[in-house]
Structure 1
Amino acid sequence: MREVPDYWRIADDVIADVESKKLKPGDRLPSIAELRATYDVSHGTVQMAYARLEALRVIRRQQGKGVFVTDPKTWMREP
């Protein structure tokens, strides 16, 4: 069985937190430095996780302000 890459695991954790409503639309995500420390990964790994989340439209980045959760209605599928 293949191990899931760290960036994928981080992105999946964020998605799970949104789905469980632990994170809500407009909530600010931790900084790259905070996620690096939490997951013990490199800066690039967190950047890749954020890039994946942005591609999935789960987050939006605002230069100088941070990374924020988008409205799940724009990206979640109905079960």
Structure 2
Amino acid sequence: MPEVPDYIRIADDVIEDVRSGKLTAGDKLPSIVELRAKYSVSHGTVQMSYARLEALRVIRRHQGKGIFVTDPATWMREP
């Protein structure tokens, strides 16, 4: 079975943190540099993770302020 790419694994971890309540709407996510260190991945991998989360409407980027969790009610479905 193929290994899950790092960018998907990171995005899935963020989604799980939201589902579990560890992260809530309005919470600021770690910087790219912080996630690079946490997961030992490249800058591009973290950028791809954030791009995936943005496409899924899980996060919103605010230029100069950071990356924030959106309201889960707008994107999260019951399993």
Q: 1:1-79, aligned counterparts within 5 Å?
A: 1-79=1-79
Q: Determine what percentage of the aligned residue pairs are the same residue.
A: 81
Q: Which runs of 5+ in 2 are unaligned?
A: none
Matched residues, number: 79
Report the AA paired with residue 45 of structure 2: T
Tell me the TM-score normalised to structure 1 length.
Answer: 0.98
Q: Considering only aligned residues, what root-mean-square deviation do their CA atoms show, in Å?
A: 0.5
Report the AA paired with residue 47 of structure 1: Q
Question: Aligned to 1:57, what secondary structure does the other structure show?
Answer: coil
Q: Which runs of 5+ in 1 are unaligned?
A: none
2: CA distance, partners of 1:70 / 1:59? 5
2: CA distance, partners of 1:78 / 1:16? 13
- Runs (4 or more) in structure 1 with deviation over 2 Å come to none
2: CA distance, partners of 1:60 / 1:54? 6
Deviation at 1:17, TM superposition (A): 0.1
Tell me the TM-score normalised to structure 2 length.
Answer: 0.98
